Amino acid sequence: MRNVLLPALALMLPLAACNRGEEDAKTDEAVVARTSETELAAWLSPKDGTDPARWLAGREAGHPLANDAPAVQAMRTSLARAAEGFIEDPRMIANRTVQLGQMLAETGKSESYGDLLDGFGQIAAKRGRHKSLYGEMCQHYVNIRNRGLGHEAALSELSENEVRPLTRSTP
């Protein structure tokens, strides 16, 4: 049980501030929107003016990238497609993707951010108009990978679980 809860807590705690309510944001007026050309923020805050796809591509590259860089354009496409199937906004999806990438790297199971977004986006798209929770899918993905499955096998298992209709058992 502990092996399941630790990844869940690790995934949720660092970004809890990203979902603060509007009242909390009003009291934190010292935070200003920024778009840096020379540095990458650790996380995108609610008031950050940085393009989430550009930030995500830069984080993966290890340095800021030009707005028209091919990696940024590809990430923009992947992020936009993924965002269609999830409740969270692109900023939060980008933050969670970096967090997931860090967790995977710590266990020697690195995956590209684009591959994660594309895989999760395809799974969420199968639900149609019912949107998924990106953070929850990340948590399940980590748990599956920690059982020893590879990326494609983990996506397959997520897909089976995501689209399986809920059934009621009768006594």
Q: What is the DSSP string of 15-52?
A: TGGGG--HHHHHH-TT------SS---SS--TT--S-H
Collapsing DSSP to helix, strand or coil, 108 comes out as coil
Name the average pLDDT for the chain.
82
For 21, residues 6+ apart whose C-beta sits below 8 A from its C-beta are none
How crowded is residue 126: how many other Cβ atoms within 10 Å of its Cβ? Answer: 12
- The per-residue pLDDT for range 66-124, each reduced to its tens digit, is 999 999 999 999 999 999 999 999 999 999 999 999 999 999 999 999 999 999 999 99
Going by pLDDT thresholds of 50, 70 and 90, the confidence category of residue 32 is very low
Residue 109 identity: K
pTM assigned to the model: 0.75
Going by pLDDT thresholds of 50, 70 and 90, the confidence category of residue 11 is low
What pLDDT sits at residue 34? 46
- The per-residue pLDDT for range 113-169, each reduced to its tens digit, is 999 999 999 999 988 778 999 999 999 999 999 999 999 999 999 998 864 443 444
Q: Number of C-alpha atoms within 13 angstroms, CB side, residue 107?
A: 16
Average pLDDT, stretch 24-42?
Answer: 56
